[in-house]
Amino acid sequence: MLANVLARITGDPSATAYIFRLDTSYGGGKTHGLIALVHAANGMKGVANVAEFVDSKFVPKTKIRIAAFDGENADPANGRSMDDGILAHTPWGELACSLADKAGYERIRKSDESHTSPGAETLAELSGVNGGH
C-alpha cells in the first residue's frame, strides 16, 4: 500500500489504482497503514532506514497536503460544522475545507449542497494535482 500510494503521489509510472479499500478485521493494521502514509507523505522525516519501508524514489520531495474524512461523524442531511461557519454535507465538502479552507469549500459549494460529486478537474484543483490550487 505504501509504495503504491507514494508512486501515485510522486507521479511514478508504476502507480496503480487511485483508490484503495482498506478492508481488514479489527486489529488488521488499517490505522497503522494510514499513519505510515502520513509520515511518508511528509517525506519520512526522522525515519532512519527509509529503504526498510519503501524505495526512496517514492518519497515526496515537495510538500504534500493531507486531508482525511471521518465518515463516522459525517452528517449528510444536516451538514457537519467546519471552520468559518461552513456546514459540509458530503465528503467532498469536508475534504475541500481541509485542503483549501473556505476558498476550497466555496469552489465546490454547489456540489456539496446538492450532494453530488464534483468533477475530476475540480478535485484535481483542490488537491493540487497538475498545478491546481
Give which of 10, 133, 98 is closest to 122, Cα–Cα: 133
pLDDT digits (tens, 9 = 90+) for 62-118: 888 888 888 888 999 999 999 889 999 999 999 999 888 999 999 999 999 999 999
- Would you kindly state where each structural domain of the chain is located, as residue ranges? 2-58, 71-131
Higher pLDDT, 87 or 4: 87
pLDDT digits (tens, 9 = 90+) for 27-55: 777 788 888 888 888 888 888 888 888 88
With 0.85 as the threshold, say if the pTM is over it: no
Q: Which amino acid is at 28?
A: G
